[in-house]
Structure 1
Amino acid sequence: MRTILLLSLLLISTPFFSQSDDAKQIKAIYDQALTNGKAYDWLNHLSNQIGGRLSGSVQAQLAVDYTKAQLDSLGLDRVWLQPVMVPKWVRGTPEFAYIETKPGHTTNVPICALGGSISTPDGGIKAGIVEVKGIEDLEKLGRSKIEGKIVFYNRPMEPTQISTFASYSGCVDQRYSGAAEAGKYGAAGVIVRSMNLRLDDYPHTGAMSYGDTPVSDRIPAAAISTKGAELLSTTLTLNPDIKLYFKQNCKQFEDVESYNVIGEITGTTYPNEVMVVGGHLDSWDLGDGSHDDGAGCVQSMDVLRLLKETGYKPKRTLRVVLFMNEENGLRGGNKYAEIAQKKNEKHVFALESDSGGFTPRGFSFDCSEENLKQVQSWKGLFEPYLIHMFVKGYSGADIGPLKSEDLVLAGLRPDSQRYFDHHHAENDTFEHVNKRELELGAATMASLVYLIDKYGTITSAKIKG
Structure 2
Amino acid sequence: MLLLQFMKIFRLFFLCYCFTLSLNTLSQSDEEVLKKIYKTSLTNGQSYNWLNYLSNQIGSRLSGSYGAEKAVTWTKEELEKLGLDKVWLQPVMVPKWIRGAKEYGYIESGSGKTSIVNICALGGSVATPSLGLKASVLEVKSFEELAILGAEKVAGKIVFYNRPMQPDLIHTFEAYGGCVNQRYKGAVEAAKYGAVGVIVRSMNLRLDDLPHTGAMTYDDLPVSQRIPSAAISTNDAELLSAMLKLDKSIMFYFKQNCKQLKDVLSYNVIGQITGSEFPNEYMLVGGHLDSWDLGDGSHDDGAGVVQSMEVLRLLKEIGIKPKRSIRVVLFMNEENGLRGGNKYAEMSKKNNEKHVFALESDSGGFTPRGFSFDCDDASFNQVLQWKPLFKPYLIHYFEKGYGGADIGPLKSDAMVLAGLRPDSQRYFDHHHASNDTFDAVNKRELELGAATMTSLIYLFDKYGVNPISNLETIKN
Q: TM-score w.r.t. structure 1 length?
A: 0.94
| Percent of aligned pairs sharing the same letter | 70
Using the TM superposition, give the Cα deviation of residue 102 of structure 1 relative to its aligned residue in structure 2, in angstroms. Answer: 2.8
Match of 2:213 in 1: 205
Using the TM superposition, give the Cα deviation of residue 53 of structure 1 relative to its aligned residue in structure 2, in angstroms. Answer: 0.3
Pick the aligned partner of 2:129 from 121, 142, 157: 121
Query: Where in structure 2 are there 5+ consecutive unaligned residues?
Result: 1-24, 469-476
Pick the aligned partner of 1:81 from 89, 94, 98: 89
The one-letter code matched in structure 2 to 1:348 is V
The one-letter code matched in structure 1 to 2:383 is V
Match of 2:370 in 1: 362
RMSD: 1.3
**1:417 aligned to 2:421?**
no
Q: Which string of whole-angstrom CA distances, capped at 9 and with x for unpartnered residues, describes residues 291-340 of structure 1?
A: 00000000000000001111100000000000000000000000000000
Q: Which string of whole-angstrom CA distances, capped at 9 and with x for unpartnered residues, describes residues 80-124 of structure 1?
A: 000000000000000000000035410000000000000000011
Distance 2:88 2:210 in 1: 37
Match of 1:9 in 2: none
Match of 1:165 in 2: 173
Match of 2:109 in 1: 101
**1:349 aligned to 2:327?**
no
Pick the aligned partner of 1:266 from 259, 274, 279: 274
**1:242 aligned to 2:250?**
yes
Residue pair 1:406, 1:459 contacting (<8 A) in 2 also: no
Q: How does 1:208-357 map to 2 (within 5 A)?
A: 208-357=216-365
**1:435 aligned to 2:457?**
no
Match of 2:404 in 1: 396
Using the TM superposition, give the Cα deviation of residue 134 of structure 1 relative to its aligned residue in structure 2, in angstroms. Answer: 1.3
Distance 1:225 1:85 in 2: 32
Q: In structure 2, the residue corresponding to 1:142 is in which secondary structure?
A: helix
The one-letter code matched in structure 2 to 1:275 is M
Match of 2:62 in 1: 54
Using the TM superposition, give the Cα deviation of residue 18 of structure 1 relative to its aligned residue in structure 2, in angstroms. Answer: 9.2
Distance 1:354 1:272 in 2: 26
Distance 2:207 2:372 in 1: 29
Q: In structure 2, the residue corresponding to 1:213 is in which secondary structure?
A: coil
Residue pair 2:47, 2:447 contacting (<8 A) in 1 also: yes
Using the TM superposition, give the Cα deviation of residue 136 of structure 1 relative to its aligned residue in structure 2, in angstroms. Answer: 1.4
Distance 1:269 1:165 in 2: 39
Residue pair 1:406, 1:458 contacting (<8 A) in 2 also: no
| Structure with the greater alpha carbon radius of gyration | 2
Match of 1:178 in 2: 186
Q: Which string of whole-angstrom CA distances, capped at 9 and with x for unpartnered residues, describes residues 426-446 of structure 1?
A: 000000000000000000000
Q: In structure 2, the residue corresponding to 1:268 is in which secondary structure?
A: coil
Distance 1:184 1:68 in 2: 45
The one-letter code matched in structure 2 to 1:414 is P
The one-letter code matched in structure 2 to 1:208 is M
The one-letter code matched in structure 2 to 1:410 is A
Residue pair 2:382, 2:467 contacting (<8 A) in 1 also: no
Match of 1:154 in 2: 162
Using the TM superposition, give the Cα deviation of residue 19 of structure 1 relative to its aligned residue in structure 2, in angstroms. Answer: 9.6
Match of 1:92 in 2: 100
Are the structure 2 counterparts of residues 19 and 443 from structure 1 closer, same or farther at C-alpha, using a change threshold of 3 Å? farther
Residue pair 1:202, 1:226 contacting (<8 A) in 2 also: yes
Residue pair 2:280, 2:325 contacting (<8 A) in 1 also: yes
Pick the aligned partner of 1:131 from 111, 128, 139: 139
Distance 1:19 1:242 in 2: 74
